[in-house]
Amino acid sequence: MTEDYFSDLTQEEKQILKNKGTEAPFSGEYNDFFEAGIFICRACKTPLYESNTKFNSGCGWPSFDDEIENAIVRYEDLSGGRARTEICCAKCDGHLGHVFIGEQITEKNTRHCVNSLSLQFKAYTNLEKATFGAGCFWQVEKIFKATTGVYLSSGRGCLACLGI
């Protein structure tokens, strides 16, 4: 059975995340928001963006030039009479917005244009850091990434695990 990540959302949030809507420009709570932390998917709580990748593009929506690894999936979007690249949460497939390449706005030449209603913010001051050691780091990282409340995890391979 598939988990319904959208059942606890407001109608406005569902319109964005489930029905691929777009909020009005300059209306979202995260457009001019620049605190240190992590932006997570409002529906499934998956970490999507770190705040150090957010920038003011002037477009009216939160803009990021990079995502957390494997957090975003991309789809061709031909709606509205033009070709764009839609971005969605990799876990719940909730619509986030669109990504634009080649605008020369940042060094990475990428702009993720994201609806505030698809995001939730977790300040670094409200997060705790834990360090663990274990045998197979990749397996431990996989377990932590699947654990509710874990927002970022990073495994470092040992020589034996790398086959060296």
Total Cβ atoms within 10 A of residue 61:
22
Neighbours of 33 (CB within 10 A): 15
Q: Please give the domain boundaries of the chain with CATH numbers for all domains.
A: 11-125 (2.170.150.20), 128-164 (no CATH)
Q: How far is CA 27 from CA 30, 32, 62, 116, in A?
A: 9, 10, 10, 8
pLDDT per residue as tens digits for the range 88-129: 999 999 999 999 999 999 999 999 999 999 999 999 886 566
pTM: 0.79
Residues 113 and 95: beta-carbon distance below 8 Å: no
> What pLDDT digit, counting tens, does each position of 46-98 carry?
999 999 999 999 999 999 999 999 999 999 999 888 999 999 999 999 999 99
Q: Catalytic: which of 41, 89, 113, 161?
A: 113
* 92 a catalytic residue: no
Mean per-residue pLDDT, 128-151: 62
Give per-residue pLDDT as tens, 151-161: 555 565 444 44
